């Protein structure tokens, strides 16, 4: 929930939207599509692998192909950090190339003690220029607070992830409730500036009827659709009465829809099909 206070008024006076307002504007009515920019060098089209900046070259093509349908882009930092300083530079240029009005989520799943988290937040928000970050709640609230100090920036807290091993900890019972329920309660308590969201995987549809009432009005980032096996039909049914913005992320099923010379058209078609399925 967006909070009206001195800071939000000051942001509006400067022409800067709060994160909550930007997210709502980007998604509009219904779920929004988030395209994961996770370039693997060996999966790029041959002609782009020869480029001096192959990750950037690929991302620019994907962004141009999908921007009509995408509400957000989510680069996973690992695919860029793999190449050291050169990879980080390509990530910076990728983020600069995202059109105005789209939300950029830096997917690093950061989570460390307060002073380190403060440096991470500055790196992702001020250094990279991302609008939001994914964060890990395992170290508790003081590791999350540095990401939540600005109304124009947001954080998506891992609650129920899409990977098979997520249940090792997230579904353990503590004080009569699964761990993910405790995480959701923590997230709601931290949402003082209306800039907290949750990561909830599409691969656990049987848990969605329990999670959504707990989340109430927190924005959702939903990975796991497509290559990870999350189904669109169950997701649509669960979200049709959810009151907050939801970003459905797809990475491999869109950016690697083809590895041939037609990769750009294939990515565009895959993005359009998925958005149509989500909103039809």
CB-based contact 108:128 (threshold 8 Å): no
Give the active site residue among 109, 118, 236, 240. 109
Is 109 annotated as catalytic?
yes
By C-alpha distance, which of 195, 259, 232 is closest to 33? Answer: 232
3 state SS of 256: coil
HSE toward the beta carbon, residue 109, CA cutoff 13 A: 10
H/E stretch holding 215 reads helix 208-215
Q: Is 189 exposed, middle or buried (0-12, 13-18, 19+ CB in 10 A)?
A: exposed
Give ∠ CA 8-14-17 in degrees, rounded to 5.
50
Candidates 135, 80, 145, 140; CA nearest to 107 is 135
Cα separations in angstroms, 14 against 58, 131, 132, 135: 34, 17, 20, 28
Rounded-to-integer distance, Cα 11 and Cα 152, Å: 8
Q: Catalytic residue numbers?
A: 109
């Amino acid at each position: 929930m967006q909070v009206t206070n001195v800071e939000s008024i000051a942001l509006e006076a400067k022409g800067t939207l709060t994160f909550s307002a930007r997210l709502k504007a980007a998604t509009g009515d219904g779920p929004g599509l988030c395209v994961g920019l996770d370039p693997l060098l060996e999966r790029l089209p041959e002609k782009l692998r020869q480029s001096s900046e192959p990750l950037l070259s690929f991302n620019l093509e994907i962004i141009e192909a999908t921007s009509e349908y995408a509400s957000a882009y989510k680069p996973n930092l690992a695919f860029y950090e793999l190449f050291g300083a050169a990879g980080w530079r390509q990530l910076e240029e990728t983020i600069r190339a995202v059109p105005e009005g789209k939300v950029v989520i830096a997917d690093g799943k950061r989570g460390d003690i307060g002073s380190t988290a403060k440096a991470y937040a500055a790196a992702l928000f001020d250094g990279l220029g991302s609008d939001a970050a994914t964060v890990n709640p395992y170290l508790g609230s003081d590791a999350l607070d540095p990401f939540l100090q600005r109304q124009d920036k947001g954080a998506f807290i891992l609650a129920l992830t899409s990977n098979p091993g997520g249940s090792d900890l997230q579904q353990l019972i503590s004080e009569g409730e699964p761990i993910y329920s405790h995480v959701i309660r923590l997230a709601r308590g931290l949402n003082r500036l209306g800039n907290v969201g949750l990561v909830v995987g599409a691969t656990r549809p049987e848990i969605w009827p329990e999670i959504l009432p707990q989340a109430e009005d927190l924005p959702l980032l939903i990975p796991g659709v497509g290559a990870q096996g999350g189904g669109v039909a169950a997701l649509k049914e669960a979200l049709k009465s959810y009151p907050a913005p939801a970003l459905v992320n797809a990475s491999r099923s869109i950016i690697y829809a083809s590895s041939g010379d037609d990769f750009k058209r294939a990515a565009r078609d895959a993005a359009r099909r998925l958005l149509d399925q989500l909103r039809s």
